[in-house]
């Protein structure tokens, strides 16, 4: 078989698609190579750097890496770039299937509907008391959940995704030396409230979902002083947030009463099904919150004078700086960075600078010349975990500093700080502008 040479910009090298059978001696195209090129193209700066046909020797003889989702694995394969056939030489094997671009004359597909995920079902319709709900173990669709079915064209957001967006948008994931002593739990919840105010006027997915909530209150449970508590009599459903004070013993239904700080007289009952789900998550801080401050956001409904949660998302935060973290190792790194007076940011969502890449670095230094990324590698003994770290290294190159937690954090070497006239950061969050769905309790 004739060799088919393709130039990959991600490696700046030529590979043979039929290397094993053509005998060209050129390295073959592998699935890992296609995945690396796909990640490389996802960066906005590399959007035009596509695979090209080396034999045709024309910059427009391009290919695009496609992904076909499967039940167990995804299939990656190259296809000819739309309308690029004329740039390929006669006889070039150029993957006859092109990407299909819809013509303007064709019927246009309506835009996807943006809505709430199943975590918010309690806000859309009346549900039975969650404390008495049985943990579902049977297969198939549950009875009475037909209202949760959604078409493939419906985009939804979960409570976890909403919380990550609020935490990152509020600036709580960012730290600078002058924040020391100024960030308290009250300030933490105040910044979340400010992020809600700001998102109400934006046009992204999160703000669209927030504005789709009708007559629902976002309650900063531990933001107000005790003398300010005012509970609207008509409020029976809410999205609340605050810091966990205590988690009581199980009652006869397997539920536990969770008390939030500054609000000891109105605990939230957490049903057994939520506790069981959190117990299956090794990263959940809810059942071990005594080791760290724990901040939660939850969807609750009022039953018989008691608030009962239908869904919740819990986040562990560092004792120093109140920064969202996932592990003890990340807390050690945060403690050292804060202690040395460094400026950094913790990422919960993919940074915009990486152009939509799914690889999310743990931290990024903001006070160095190249603003290096930091990755906490706590399970390098796992082949799958090590491969994921390898993909991040290939994506970020020398800008990524990997800390293998088997080595003491004190031995980790950080780049030197440089003086900057103005450091980049999140725009200020308004704490005074009232949001139309914000209610006080």
Those residues whose C-beta lies under 8 Å from the C-beta of residue 182, and which sit 6 or more positions away, are none
Q: Note the pLDDT tens digit of each residue in 95-107.
A: 544 444 444 444 4
Q: Is the pLDDT of residue 295 over 70?
A: yes
Q: Residue 273 in 3-state DSSP?
A: helix
> What is the reported pLDDT for 140?
43
> What is the reported pLDDT for 173?
94
199 burial type by CB count under 10 A (0-12 exposed, 13-18 middle, 19+ buried) = buried
Average pLDDT over residues 125-132: 83
Q: Note the pLDDT tens digit of each residue in 239-286.
A: 888 899 888 888 888 899 998 887 767 788 999 989 988 888 877 888
Average pLDDT over residues 4-19: 83
> What is the reported pLDDT for 177?
93
Closest CA to 356 of 31, 77, 38, 62: 38
Q: How many CB atoms lie within 10 A of CB 244?
A: 21
399 pLDDT band (50/70/90 cuts)? Answer: confident
> What is the reported pLDDT for 142?
46
Percent pLDDT > 70 in the chain is 72
Q: Note the pLDDT tens digit of each residue in 194-203.
A: 888 787 777 6
Q: Mutual orientation of helices 205-212 and 159-169 as an angle, nearest 10°?
A: 120
CA distance 197 to 195: 5
Average pLDDT over residues 382-402: 81
**Candidate from 12-26, 160-174, 212-226, 358-372 with smallest mean pLDDT:** 212-226
Domain boundaries, the chain: 5-87, 119-134+153-317, 344-411
**Candidate from 114-128, 270-284, 290-304 with smallest mean pLDDT:** 114-128
Tokens read off for 397: 């190159």
Across the chain, mean pLDDT equals 76
Q: Which has the higher per-residue pLDDT, 388 or 110?
A: 388
> What does the H/E/C string look like for 401-417?
EEEECCCCHHHCCCCCC
| Fold of the domain built from segment(s) 119-134+153-317 | OB fold (Dihydrolipoamide Acetyltransferase, E2P) (2.40.50)
Percent pLDDT > 90 in the chain is 17
Handedness of CA 373, 172, 379, 71 (dihedral sign): negative
Average pLDDT over residues 88-100: 59
26 pLDDT band (50/70/90 cuts)? Answer: confident
Those residues whose C-beta lies under 8 Å from the C-beta of residue 38, and which sit 6 or more positions away, are 65, 67, 76
């Amino acid at each position: 078989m004739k060799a088919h040479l393709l130039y990959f910009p991600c490696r700046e090298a030529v590979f043979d698609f039929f290397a094993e059978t053509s005998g060209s001696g050129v390295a073959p195209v592998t699935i890992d190579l296609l995945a690396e090129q796909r990640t490389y193209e996802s960066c906005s700066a590399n959007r035009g750097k596509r695979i090209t046909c080396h034999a045709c020797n024309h910059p427009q003889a391009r290919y695009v890496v496609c992904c076909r989702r499967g039940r167990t694995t995804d299939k990656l394969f190259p296809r000819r770039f739309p309308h690029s056939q004329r740039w390929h030489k006669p006889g070039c094997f150029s993957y006859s299937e092109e990407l299909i671009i819809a013509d303007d004359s064709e019927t246009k597909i309506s835009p996807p509907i943006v809505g709430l995920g199943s975590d918010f079902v309690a806000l859309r319709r009346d549900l039975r008391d969650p404390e008495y709900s049985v943990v579902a173990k049977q297969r198939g669709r549950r009875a009475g959940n037909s209202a949760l079915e959604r078409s493939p064209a419906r985009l939804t957001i979960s409570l976890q995704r909403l919380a990550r967006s609020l935490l990152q948008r509020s600036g709580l994931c960012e730290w600078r030396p002058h924040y020391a002593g100024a960030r308290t739990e009250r300030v933490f919840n105040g910044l979340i409230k400010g992020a809600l105010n700001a998102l109400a006027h934006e046009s992204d997915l999160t703000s669209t979902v927030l504005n789709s909530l009708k007559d629902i209150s976002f309650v900063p449970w531990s933001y107000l002083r005790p003398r300010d508590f005012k509970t609207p009599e008509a409020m029976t459903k809410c999205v609340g947030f605050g810091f966990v004070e205590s988690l009581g013993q199980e009652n006869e239904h397997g539920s536990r009463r969770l008390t939030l700080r500054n609000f000891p007289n109105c605990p939230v009952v957490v049903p057994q099904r939520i506790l069981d789900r959190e117990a299956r998550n090794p990263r959940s801080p809810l059942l071990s919150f005594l080791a760290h401050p724990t901040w939660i956001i939850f969807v609750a409904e009022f039953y018989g004078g008691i608030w009962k949660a239908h869904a919740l998302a819990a986040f562990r935060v560092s004792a120093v700086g109140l920064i969202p973290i996932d592990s003890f190792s990340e807390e050690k790194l945060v403690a050292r960075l804060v202690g040395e007076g460094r400026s950094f940011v913790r990422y919960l969502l993919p940074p915009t600078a990486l152009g939509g890449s799914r690889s999310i670095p743990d931290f990024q230094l903001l006070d160095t010349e190249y603003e290096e990324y930091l990755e906490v590698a706590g399970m390098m003994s796992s082949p799958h975990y090590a491969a994921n770290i390898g993909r991040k290294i290939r994506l970020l190159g020398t800008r990524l500093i990997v800390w293998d937690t088997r080595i003491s954090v004190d031995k980790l070497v950080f780049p030197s700080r440089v003086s900057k006239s103005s450091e980049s950061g999140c725009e200020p969050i308004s704490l005074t502008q009232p949001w139309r769905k914000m209610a006080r309790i």
